[in-house]
Amino acid sequence: MSKRILVTGGAGFLGSHLCERLVDAGHMVICLDNLYTSQKLNITRLLERSNFEFVRHDVTEGFKFEVDEIYNLACPAAPGHYQHNPIKTMKTSVLGTMHAMGLGRRVGAKVLQASTSEVYGDPDVHPQPESYRGSVNPIGPRACYDEGKRAAEAIMFDYRRAHQCRIKVVRIFNTYGPRMHPFDGRVVSNFVRQAVAGEPITIYGDGTQSRSFCFVDDLIDGMIGVMDTPDEFTGPINLGNPMEFTIRELAEKVVAIAGAGASIELARPLPQDDPKQRCPDIALAKQVLGWTPKVDLEAGLRKTIDWFRSVDLSQYRAPTPNY
Ligand code: NAD
Ligand code: UDP
C-alpha cells in the first residue's frame, strides 16, 4: 500500500538513498532539507518522479504535512560539519526532533529518529549493546552532536510516555557509500577522495583506533525494516556492520583497491574525544528484523571508489572548511 512519507534531511547521503528506495516502492515522498551539508545533485534524478517532492526548509522552524510516516534524518553528521556551527547542530537535533514529534503526534504518524553510535561516546564496553548508557564528554567538542542526539532520544521517549506516540529510534554506526559528500571530512570519503586523486592518505593519530563500516544499502534495508515493525517496538536498536577495522587497515584497503599507489601519512594527532574503538552489537537487529549486513568492506569500497571516480568533484561545494 502506498504511504505518504516525510524524510527530513532527505537530500543528504543516507536521506537520498532512503528517498530513492521509498519512491521506487511507490510511496509519496516529501524530502525536506535546508541543503546545509548536501546538494540538490543527490536528488536530481528523483526530482523527475511524480511521487517525489523537494521542500527547502530548516527543521529548526516548524513544518506541517499530512503524512503517515516521518524519517527524521536532518542533522549534520560528519564531525567537521557538526563542530563547525555547534549551536546550530544542537538546535537541529533538539528543535528538529521536537518538530518531527509534534507533527507525528498531530497526524498520528510513526516517527523514526536517526540516532547514532555517538550516543555511546568513547565507549568502555565493547562491542556496544543498546543497554550500554555510554561514556560521553558533555562539554567537549563532540557534545553538540552526541548530547544533541541523546536529547533527541529523550524527546522521542517522552512523547511516547506523554502522548502514546508511535516512535522508532535507530542508532546508526559509521555508514559509507556512493553519494557521501566528497568534502565531508569523514574517514571513508577522505581516504577514497585522496586515493582517487593520488594524494597522501591522512591518518589521524596512529591509526590504531577502530570503526565498523556499514555499506549504505544494508543500512537502508535495516532502517525501513525498523519503520515496518509493530508499534510496540520502539528501539533503540543498533544498525551497523559488526566487522571492525582499524583506521590503518581501512587506509591500506582503500589504497589496495583503488590501485593508486598513494602513500599513507600520519597527518595530525587524534582529535579530542575521538572514540578509540567502536563496534555494534547487532543481536537485537538480528532477532527483531532478521537483519545482518550483506556487503563486506571490500565490495562496498569498490562501489564507493567507482562512484567517486564517476563524479566531477568541481560540482561539489565544501559545506564547511573542515575536510
Ligand atoms: P548528511 O550530512 O549527508 O545528511 C544530513 C542532511 O540533513 C543534509 O542533507 C543536510 O543538508 C540536512 N540538514 C542539516 N541540518 C538541517 C536543518 N537544520 N534543517 C533541514 N535539513 C538539515 O549526513 P548523513 O550521513 O546522511 O546522516 C543522516 C542522518 O543519519 C543524520 O541525522 C546523522 O546524524 C545520522 N547518522 C549517520 C551516520 C553515518 O555514518 N552516515 C551515522 C550515525 C548517524
Ligand atoms: N580519520 C582519519 N583521517 C581522516 C578522517 C578521519 O584518520 O582523514 C579518523 C578519525 O580521527 C576517526 C575515524 O577516522 O578516528 C573516523 O572518523 P569519522 O570522521 O569518519 O567519523 P567518527 O566515527 O569519528 O564520527
Using left for φ > 0, alpha for ψ between -120 and 50, and beta otherwise, residue 261 falls in: left
Residue 289 Cβ contacting ligand 1 at under 6 Å: no
Rg value, the chain, Cα: 19
What is the rounded CA–CA span in Å between residue 165 and residue 35?
29
Type of residue at 131: S
* Cα–Cα distance, 156 to 159 (Å, whole number): 5
The reported pLDDT for the residue numbered 282 is 98
Measuring CA to CA, how many Å separate 228 from each of 151, 158, 214, 220, 302?
24, 21, 21, 12, 30
* Nine cell digits for residue 197: 586523486
* 187 Cα–ligand 2 center, Å: 4
Alpha-carbon span 56 to 46, nearest angstrom: 15
Predicted local distance difference test score (pLDDT) of residue 172: 98
- The closest alpha carbon to 124, from 278, 311, 317, belongs to 278
Counting every residue written for the chain, the total comes to 323
**Catalytic residue (choose from 36, 71, 82, 145):** 145
DSSP string, 144-169: HHHHHHHHHHHHHHHHHHHH---EEE
Instruction: Say how far apart CA 145 and CA 88 lie, in whole Å.
Output: 10
**145 a catalytic residue:** yes
| Cell numbers at 90, concatenated | 544542537
CA–CA dist 134, 57 (Å, integer): 32
Q: How many CB atoms lie within 10 A of CB 63?
A: 18
pLDDT < 50 positions in the chain = none
| CA-proximal residue: ligand 1, atom 4 (nearest) | 12
Distance linking the first and last C-alpha atoms of the chain: 42
Cell digits of residue 146: 552526541
CA of residue 77 to ligand 1 center, whole Å: 5
Do 43 and 15 meet the contact criterion of CB atoms below 8 Å apart? no
pLDDT value of residue 36: 97
274 lines ligand 2 (CB under 6 A): yes
Beta bridge partners of 203: 266
Contacts 24+ apart (CB under 8 A), 232-236: 233/168, 233/288, 234/156, 234/157, 234/160, 234/167, 234/168, 234/169, 235/130, 235/167, 235/168, 235/169, 235/170, 235/171, 236/115, 236/130, 236/153, 236/169, 236/170, 236/171
Tell me if 79 sits within 8 A of 146, measured CB to CB: no
How do residues 210-259 score in pLDDT, each as one tens digit?
A: 999 999 999 999 999 999 999 999 999 999 999 999 999 999 999 999 98
Which position has the grid cell 532520544? Answer: 153
Atom 24 in ligand 2: which residue has the minimum CA distance?
Answer: 274
Q: Which atom of ligand 1 is nearest to the CA of 145?
A: 34
Q: How far is CA 180 from CA 160, 192, 303, in A?
A: 33, 11, 12
Pocket of ligand 2 contains residue 141 by CB under 6 Å: no
Cα maximum dimension of the chain: 57
Ligand lying nearest the CA atom of residue 201:
2
Quote the CA–CA distance of 270 and 4 in Å, as a whole number.
44
Ligand nearest to the CA of 213: 1
> To which residue does cell 545533485 refer?
41
Which residue of 145, 211, 213, 241 sits with most ligand 2 atoms within 8 Å of its CB, as the best mutation to test the pocket?
211
Give me the domains of the chain, ranges plus CATH numbers: 4-175+214-239 (3.40.50.720), 178-212+242-277+294-315 (3.90.25.10)
Rounded to the nearest angstrom, the distance between the alpha carbon of 241 and the centre of ligand 2 is: 16
Q: Is the CB of 11 under 6 A from ligand 1?
A: yes
80 in ligand 2 pocket by Cβ < 6 Å? no
**Nearest ligand to the C-alpha atom of residue 123:** 2
211 Cβ inside 6 Å of ligand 2? yes
| pLDDT at residue 1, as a whole number | 87
**What pLDDT does 232 receive?**
98
Distance in angstroms (rounded) separating the CA atoms of residues 186 and 188? 6
Report pLDDT for 12. 98
